[in-house]
Amino acid sequence: MGAAGLAEVAAGDGLGPQDARDVVLRAEHVSVVYDGDSPTRAVRDVSIELRRGEVLGIAGESGCGKSTLAYALMRMLRPPARLAAGRISFSDGTGAAPVDVMALGPEDLRHFRWTKLSMVFQSAMNALNPVTSLRKQFSDIFETHAPEMRRDEREQRSRALLDMVGIDPARISSFPHELSGGMRQRVVIAMALALQPDVVIMDEPTTALDVVVQREILDEIERLREELGFSIVFITHDLSLLLEISDRLAVMYAGEIVEFAPSAEVARAPAHPYTLGLLESFPDMRGARRQLHGIAGSPPSLAGEIAGCAFAPRCGYAFAPCASTTPRLRERSRATGHAAVAGGSSDGQAGRVPQTWSVACHLHDEELCPAGPPRGLDGGELTGDGQVVNRRPDGASEPSAGEERR
């Protein structure tokens, strides 16, 4: 598949007018730096958009900048973190002009947080104040963000929220240490939903829980989303989980988004070698048994500039330009394998529909890689055992690091 006519875009740009109205939260070219002797560039020129009602997954290894991006979206960065560049905007869906989140004054920002955008923080269930009852903790939220509520209304609403997440409202007098981990996580989710936000950012909301409780919480989140209609940014390093629960997926590596696409299509045929590596690292719960492969090596330091592709030292497909030229996230289309709908466009292959896709990899750059990406990264199906045929774009026949790895 060629890359002709590619334009450098923000992930998700190219939306039609209707889709553009459907975007509830948009980040454009966001960069975050942790200042210090050797500043850490934790988020590097990230652009994403969240559509109304969708679950957007953000995946990537530990330290790739997921939580930092979440804090930036919430405008909750604290020194030494600083937004070095970028814009974040929010649309309420009424057709009014999007709100520039960075321009909000302190009062508007307090109202914005939790009523428009709320967050379930990483490890939040362990951060609940252990010496304060649930009643007091819910009450504090309402006193801060909805001071007009009367005391009896706060009590009623707090009980309703507990009930909504499957906790007996009588537990409102309990202290966090009297609850199981799953119950504490439900409380944290109820708190995030207390003011009926349009968007909830969930940072590793189930990572600390055993798989049975994790499943219960995920089902609960999905039920609540259907009932209340909020959108979710769901962050985790667990790609297989994200593929199951998210509509679209952004894969982060070293502070950048390297692939942004519909989750079902990522599962079927990833486009970036890192995404492929992640997929091969996790067991497929529903698919055939297959051999798992980790990704050798470790991510680069985020202090300072990174020459060329940040993934190059670990990439089995690396070729000459990767060491010196930085790949940019670019939109392209590929066949999805879905049946063509009446009136829809076709790419000439019977039953296949072009799907917008964004990927940052030279293998998908027609000028640098005229032969196109190798099988397994070209939109063709992954085989059940995760095997892909490795074909180096420079035509060399010896096995690449990726083949040796297998």
Ligand X SMILES: Nc1ncnc2c1ncn2[C@@H]1O[C@H](COP(=O)(O)OP(=O)(O)OP(=O)(O)O)[C@@H](O)[C@H]1O
Instruction: Please state the φ and ψ torsions of residue 333, each to the nearest 5 degrees.
Output: -125, 155
Mask 50-69, x = binds ligand X (CB under 6 A)? ----------x-xxxxxxx-
Q: Is residue 282 helix, strand or coil?
A: coil
Is 40 one of the binding residues for Mg ion (CB under 5 A)? no
Whether omega before 80 lies within 30 degrees of 0, making that bond cis, reads yes
Determine the Cα–Cα distance for residues 340 and 343; give it in Å rounded to an integer.
Answer: 8
Contact flag: residue 273 with ligand SF4 (CB under 6 A): yes
Separation of alpha carbons 378 and 368, rounded Å:
15
How near is the Cβ of 129 to ligand X at its closest, in Å? 22
Site stretch for Mg ion (CB under 5 A), options 6-14, 66-74, 303-311, 331-339: 66-74
**322: partner contacted, choices ligand SF4, ligand X, Mg ion, none (Cβ within 5-8 A by kind):** ligand SF4
Applying CB under 6 A, which of residues 311, 353, 357, 392 lies at the interface with ligand SF4?
Answer: 311
| Residues linked to residue 120 through DSSP beta bridges, in sequence order | 202
By CB under 6 A, tell whether 317 contacts ligand SF4: yes
Query: Cβ(6)–Cβ(330) under 8 Å?
Result: yes
Contact between 67 and Mg ion (CB under 5 A)? yes
Task: Report long-range pairs for 142-147 (Cβ below 8 Å, ≥24 apart).
Answer: 142/194, 144/110, 145/110, 145/111, 145/113, 145/114, 145/115, 145/194, 145/195, 146/195
Distance in Å, CB of 70 to ligand X, minimum: 8
Say which DSSP state 301 is in: P
- Residue 61 CB, shortest distance to ligand SF4, in Å, is 14
> Does 57 help bind ligand SF4 (rule: CB under 6 A)?
no
Q: Per CB under 6 A, which region of 181-189, 244-252, 298-306, 312-320 contacts ligand SF4?
A: 312-320
Q: Cβ(117)–Cβ(232) under 8 Å?
A: no
The reply to whether 40 sits near ligand X by the rule CB under 6 A is yes
Cα–Cα distance measured from residue 68 to residue 76, given in angstroms and rounded to the nearest whole number: 9
One residue of 322, 335, 353, 388 binding ligand SF4 per CB under 6 A: 322
Using an 8 Å Cβ cutoff, are 186 and 161 in contact? Answer: no
Site string for ligand X, 18-37 (x = CB under 6 A): ----------------x---
Q: Which does 237 bind (CB under 5 to 8 A by kind): ligand SF4, Mg ion, ligand X, none?
A: ligand X
How far apart CA 306 and CA 284 sit, in angstroms, is 33
State the binding partner of 362 from Mg ion, ligand X, ligand SF4, none, CB within 5 to 8 A by kind: ligand SF4
Q: Which of 80, 93, 283, 294 binds ligand X (CB under 6 A)?
A: 80
| Residue 258 near residue 252, CB atoms below 8 Å | yes
Asked if residue 279 binds ligand SF4 (CB under 6 A), the reply is no
CB 74, min distance to ligand X, A: 13
Q: Taking CB within 5 to 8 Å according to partner kind, which of ligand SF4, ligand X, Mg ion, none is near residue 64?
A: ligand X
Among 86-94, 129-137, 169-177, 356-364, which window interacts with ligand SF4 (CB under 6 A)?
A: 356-364
Structure tokens at 229: 């209609």
Site for ligand X in 291-330 (CB under 6 A): 302
- Residues linked to residue 43 through DSSP beta bridges, in sequence order: 32
Nearest to 202 by CA among 233, 229, 230, 228: 233
Q: What is the DSSP letter of 400?
A: P
Helix crossing, 134-145 with 106-115: angle to 10°?
130
Q: How near is the Cβ of 402 to ligand X at its closest, in Å? A: 24
Q: Map residue 176 onto helix, strand or coil.
A: helix
CA gap 187, 204 in Å, rounded: 15
Which residue number, 152 or 394, has a Cβ lying nearer to ligand SF4? 394
Site residues, ligand SF4 (CB under 6 A): 272-273, 309, 311-312, 315, 317-318, 322, 327, 361-363
Summarize as ranges the residues that interact with ligand X (CB under 6 A): 34, 40, 42, 60, 62-68, 80, 122, 237, 302
Binding site for Mg ion (CB under 5 A): 66-67, 122
